Amino acid sequence: MQDDARQGKTGTPMIRRLYNWTMSLAESPHALWALALVAFVESSVFPIPPDILMIPLIVARPREAFKIAGIATVASVLGGMLGYWIGSSAFETLGRPVLEFYGKDAYFDDFAVKYNEYGAWAVLIAGVTPFPYKVITILSGTTGLSLPVFIIASITARALRFFVVAALLWKFGDPIRDFIERRLGLVFTLLIVIFLGGFYAVKYL
C-alpha cells in the first residue's frame, strides 16, 4: 500500500517534494477537501497515495474516521473514472506517458489482449494492494472493460482499502499506524492471493 509513500522518502526529488506537500495538507483547515483532491488525482496520474494524508487525519479526528474513509472512497472512484476516460479517449496523449512514468508500458500490447477476461479482478487487486491503481484505471479504459463492471469493482476495492484503514485507526489509534504504513499492503496482497487460490481450487480441483 505504501510503496509510493516510501518512494516519497527515498525516490526522486520531484516525488519527495510531492510527498512533503501532501503531508503538509493534513495541517490545512481544508484538509478534507485536500484529501478528496489527492484521492481523485491519485486514481489517474498522481504518484502519492491518499493514505498518506488520510492516516494523520484519522489519527487527529478519530470520530470522523469513517467519514474520512467515505470521502477518500468516493473521490478515488470518481478519479478512477477519469483514468478510465484517459485510457479510452486520450491514451496516446495522456495515458501512455503515465504508463511510461510507472514503467508499465513495455508489456501493454500483450497484456491488453488478455486484460478484459480478468479485468474486474485486476481492478479489485490494484484497488487494495500496492500495485498502482492508476495504471489499471487507464488500462481498463484503453481495453474497453465494461464501465459498470469497472465502477462496481472500483467501489468494492477502494471501500475495502480505506474503510479497513479507518477501522483499524478508529479502534487502535496511533499505535497501529506503523503496521498500516508498512505492512497492511502486504496483508491485503496475501489475502487476495489466498482468495484467488481458493477460487481456483473450487473451480478446477
pLDDT in tens, the chain (205 residues): 544 444 444 456 776 777 777 777 777 788 999 999 999 999 888 878 888 889 889 988 889 999 999 999 999 999 999 999 998 898 888 888 877 777 766 656 666 666 766 777 778 777 777 677 888 888 889 888 889 999 999 999 899 889 998 998 899 888 888 777 777 666 666 666 654 554 444 445 4
Per-residue model confidence as pLDDT tens digits over 53-85:
898 899 888 899 999 999 999 999 999 999 999
User: Which of these, 169, 111, 115, 163, lies nearest to 140 by C-alpha position?
Assistant: 115
**What pLDDT is recorded for position 202?**
41
Contact 141, 86 (CB under 8 A): yes
The ranges assigned to domains in the chain are 3-204
Write down the pTM of the prediction: 0.78
**What pLDDT is recorded for position 3?**
46
**What pLDDT is recorded for position 113?**
66
Is residue 79 packed enough to be buried (19+ CB in 10 Å), middle (13-18) or exposed (0-12)? buried
Contact 86, 95 (CB under 8 A): yes
Contact 82, 182 (CB under 8 A): no
Neighbours of 31 (CB within 10 A): 18
